[in-house]
Chains A and B, each alone.
Chain A
Amino acid sequence: MTEPQRSSVAPHPDRASVRARIDAARGELAAASERGEGGRQALRQYSHRMDALVQQLYAEAGPAAQPVAVFALGGYGRRALCLHSDVDLLVLFAGPIAAPDERFLHAFLNPMWDLGLTIGHHVREVSEGSRLAEDNAEFLLALTDARPIAGDATLLDHFMEATDPARSARRTLDALKTLIAERHARFNDTLYQLEPDLKEAPGGLRDLFGAQTIAKLTDPALLGQGGSGLRALDDAEEFLLRVRSSLHFEARRHHNLLSHELQERAAERLGYPGSTPRQRVERLMGDYFRHARAVDRSLRWALKAAPMPIRANLVQSPDGVKFVDVRQAAERPETWLSVFEAAVEGGCPVSDEALACVQQHAGRFTAENFFPTPAHRQALLAFLKPRPGLYARLSEMHDYGLLGQMFPEFKAITCRVVRDFYHKYTVDEHTLLTIRNLERLTDPQPERERFARLLSELESPELLVLALLFHDVGKWRDDDHHVESARMARQMFDRLRLDTRGREVVEFLVVHHLKMSVAAFRRDTEDPEIVRQFAELVGVEERLKMLCLMTLADVGAVSPETLTPWKEDLLWRLYVDTYNYLTLAYGDEVIDRTQAALSDMIAERPPDVAAGEIEEFLEGLPRRYLQLFSREAVYNHVRLSRGLGVDAIQAWIDRKDAGWELTVLTRDRAFLFSNISGVLSSFGMDILRGFAFTKPDGLVVDMFHFDDAERFLELNPGGGAQLIRVLQDVIGGRTEVAARLKGREEGAFRRRLTGFAPVIHCDNESSRRFTIVEIVAENAFGLLYRMSRAMSESGCEVDLVLIATEGQRAIDVFHLTREGAKLSPEHQAQLITNLQRALEGRP
């Protein structure tokens, strides 16, 4: 943006009348100042007249090429414009500023200069609001008093919306504190100046506006709660403005220093009694110091007691998180959750004032009002992540009527009494206690470490909390509550527009929330059939972990005595046996054509997929495959596997949650798995989860979920295609993956920290067909590539793989064969040696 030229725009025919208007306004204020009456009212009147002038010049500048607005800033924004003060303006354009907009600016600003006004102008585009928090401190402060004068006033809302209001408020406060400290230092940190600067000196107008700004940004009631009190501040402001107006009048310029000479004149104009100038001055200065002390006291109070802005319209005060503007909050129920979220995050309570607001107004809103947009619904899920404080905040939400409004289903169990031999609490409190039990696992006692680790490994722990919230809502009826709970949960799914995976997980947990306690405490878990049946129910490790934690939390919330260490042991034992079954024995459980689950898939197939194709594709794949892929994904795999030749590869990359997924369909060949994982590593990708399935006919389905920390795929539109091309070249033998990895591997080994010793466990018992190699090692660059390559180099076929990363630990399970059979003890020993060498990075 170039500075508008103060040049010769042709004089407008009405310019004489404009000059007459401004002269009249100035004359009016000068007269008031001369009488010693240049206080708030006079300045407000002058500001009002200035508004009319600005509006006229804005209109005369002609229609702008795009929406634009003019705002008064600083003292002018506060309607306290003094006779010779700068007229501070913000000119805000909706879009990028182009040549026609510059012409508009010239036409608008030049006449003001011609009129002799001192203009302080800021020109911005709405999009620049996103960088507001980085803008200069004076501008941020001036914005706190912004007032629309002309044009589209909503532009300022858009400008401010683009930034985080709490961050911007914090930055403004920080800047204000710094400016105050620097300014006071210039005056030797004392307000007792014999010739004070009415604006700049401690106790002057800047301090007064500073205290008001702090209150505006944090707590509008702040200045009424301490310091000198509102009345004293009002009096001080009126006094300081009157004296300042008289200085401007006397000096005929922007002059704020109350010098000895001007003290005499000001005392006279303000009508101080006394037979000599000295007496009048003493009285004036006595008043000055009294008002300056009042300002100083209020500013100190504001600096000390102001709550910290934490989010839009939210501050953290000593009595907890509160709304800055309660009336505004009362009309915006979608913002209420953020009070509780901020309290959980800040480890502090919600203030009584905010709770009272919630209680008073909650009944006016429906469940949908609380989560009107996807962002609000996401915020709810984020809020439900188990962490310290969640139970306390949920309990408050329940006690003050918010939880029941957000989830009407929960209202049905408020204070609900179900009499049995075990439960000691009402159903609603039992439910909330389950969440407290989960929350406590985030900082567990030593004996709960093993369960705490499961919680930390969950991909979506908030879904577990959501399931806990709904697991007993069906108890408002007396029959099978889990069926009713699931029905009620489905209503919630629709309101929250929960995605398919979320719905399936929560419904599964609600429906089956009693199954694991029944199996662990009432069935013979030494019977492999019991474990097999339970493993079949949960299907995958994530659900097993969730159900295990749900059982722990649920049993623990029945009464203080119900969850004994003995029961915890039984639960853990079932968890471990089922986990081992899911990860070690799944290779023996393959899909056959007669499997009942296939009938639905065949019945609902799209027209272009034949029933026989589906059967042929699925036959021989582990049943686990059906747990991992949606029906649509399976149909797609069937299509892509048609006529897949020996050298053909079908591979694609999808965005998934915060990461990426590579899926590969091809025919098995030596080093296939290590080549795929090696290619991903060569692009800097960190493989977090995944699996590989090999059918007896040689068809391979591999899926890798990975993190792209270097943002290669995000920043390169053709990056995905490039990765797939390299993958095809490597698998086709045209490129050597080891060469691509060399540099990265060497760097990674140099940077590697010494972590825990890797664990390699070979197992010939758990599966009928495979030797299972379970490896737990510190996650490291290219780890999967090195391990799988060592296996292939040891003569093993990598048939099935499960990849998991939990924190810094990689937990990988390989199902291997050698020449179609399990590995002999000698081959196992050789393999372990080779794997250890690979893990250490030795050749």
Chain B
Amino acid sequence: MKLLKAIVRPNKVDEVKNALEKIQISGMTVTEVRGHGKQKGHTAIYRGQEYNVSLLPKMEIEVVLPDSIVDEAVKAIIAAARTGEIGDGRIFVIPVGESYKIRTGEKEVF
């Protein structure tokens, strides 16, 4: 099992969600985050005053998947979230060792 952590543009969340649902991935966690990568923020000017916007609003989508569909999911996210401009985001793929169901305490080892 893998944890996919995708940082995407806020306006791309619905498209990414739809793309994942198309390949039968419906469980996910979506979080509002701020950060910067290569984009490193930008300088904004408001009423003549310059100020640096270093942490940009992004959305983080987390999905835990069987190894077998990780590639397909990554491709779907990229296709949905890509604009070709700086700031499109990142996907991190992280191994998951075990999980617990909180209701039952049942442990699942991968």
Contacts and interface: CB of A to CB of B under 8 A. Distances in A.
Nearest to B49: A759
A569 B53 CA distance: 10
Contacts of B44: 573, 576
A759 B47 contact: yes
B83 interface: yes
Nearest to A759: B48
A774 B46 CA distance: 10
A760 B48 contact: yes
Given A521-B11, A523-B11, A524-B11, A566 B50 contact: no
A580 B11 contact: no
Contacts of A761: 45, 48-50
Given A526-B87, A564-B32, A521 B48 contact: no
A776 interface: yes
B87 to A, nearest CB: 7
A564 B9 CA distance: 17
A591 B50 CA distance: 31
A760 B11 CA distance: 34
B34 interface: yes
A604 B34 CA distance: 52
A579 B87 CA distance: 23
Contact of A580 (B10, B46, B83, B85): B46
A569 B45 contact: no
A523 B33 CA distance: 17
B82 to A, nearest CB: 12
Nearest to B14: A522
B57 to A, nearest CB: 5
B81 to A, nearest CB: 11
A521 B49 contact: no
A331 B73 CA distance: 71
A564 B85 CA distance: 26
B22 to A, nearest CB: 19
A252 to B, nearest CB: 85
A263 B26 CA distance: 102
A569 B34 contact: yes
Contacts of B57: 566, 569-570, 573
A576 B46 CA distance: 6
B9 A776 contact: no
A487 interface: no
Q: Which of B9, B32, B44, B57 has the most CB of A within 10 A?
A: B57
A525 B57 CA distance: 11
Interface string B64-84: 000000000000000000010
A448 to B, nearest CB: 16
A134 B44 CA distance: 57
Interface string A555-580: 00000000010110110010010011
B47 A774 contact: yes
A47 to B, nearest CB: 72
Interface string B14-49: 100000000000000000111000000000111111
Contacts of B9: 524, 526
A381 interface: no
Contacts of A763: 45
Nearest to B39: A526
A576 B43 CA distance: 12
Given A521-B10, A522-B14, A566-B57, A580 B48 contact: no
A514 interface: no
A82 to B, nearest CB: 75
A48 to B, nearest CB: 75
Q: Which of A523, A526, A564 has the most CB of B within 10 A?
A: A526
In which size bucket is the chain A interface?
A: 20 to 34
A811 interface: yes
Contacts of A567: 32
Contacts of A569: 34, 57
B3 to A, nearest CB: 22
A835 B46 CA distance: 19
A811 B47 contact: yes
A774 B47 CA distance: 7
A496 to B, nearest CB: 35
A566 B87 CA distance: 17
Nearest to B51: A576
A498 B33 CA distance: 44
Given A576-B44, A759-B48, A776-B47, A566 B11 contact: no
B65 to A, nearest CB: 25
A521 B34 CA distance: 14
A775 interface: yes
A577 to B, nearest CB: 8
B45 A580 contact: yes
B11 A776 contact: no
Nearest to B53: A573
Contact of A776 (B14, B32, B33, B49): B49
Contact of B32 (A526, A566, A576, A580): A566
Contacts of A570: 10, 57
A776 B48 contact: yes
Given A564-B32, A567-B32, A759-B48, A522 B11 contact: yes
A567 B34 CA distance: 11
Interface string B83-101: 1010100000000000000
A566 B34 contact: yes
Interface in A619-636: none
Contacts of B48: 759-761, 774-776, 811
Contacts of B12: 524
Contacts of B83: 524
Contacts of B47: 759, 774, 776, 811
Interface string A522-546: 1111100000000000000000000
A557 to B, nearest CB: 19
A760 B48 CA distance: 6
Interface string A117-151: 00000000000000000000000000000000000
A655 to B, nearest CB: 30
B46 to A, nearest CB: 5
Contacts of A573: 44, 53, 57
Nearest to A763: B45
Contacts of A580: 45-46
A453 to B, nearest CB: 10
Contacts of B45: 580, 761, 763, 774
A109 to B, nearest CB: 71
Interface in A508-530: 521-526
B92 to A, nearest CB: 20
Nearest to A522: B11
Contacts of B50: 761
B59 to A, nearest CB: 9
Contacts of B85: 526
B106 to A, nearest CB: 29
Interface string A809-833: 0010000000000000000000000
A811 B57 CA distance: 29
Given A526-B85, A566-B57, A759-B47, 7 more contacts: A521-B11, A522-B10, A566-B33, A573-B53, A576-B44, A774-B47, A811-B48
5 contacts: A521-B11, A522-B10, A566-B57, A761-B49, A811-B48
Interface of B: 9-12, 14, 32-34, 44-50, 53, 57, 83, 85, 87
Please name the 4 residue pairs, one residue from A and one from B, whose CB atoms are nearest each other, closest first.
A761-B48, A566-B32, A774-B48, A759-B48
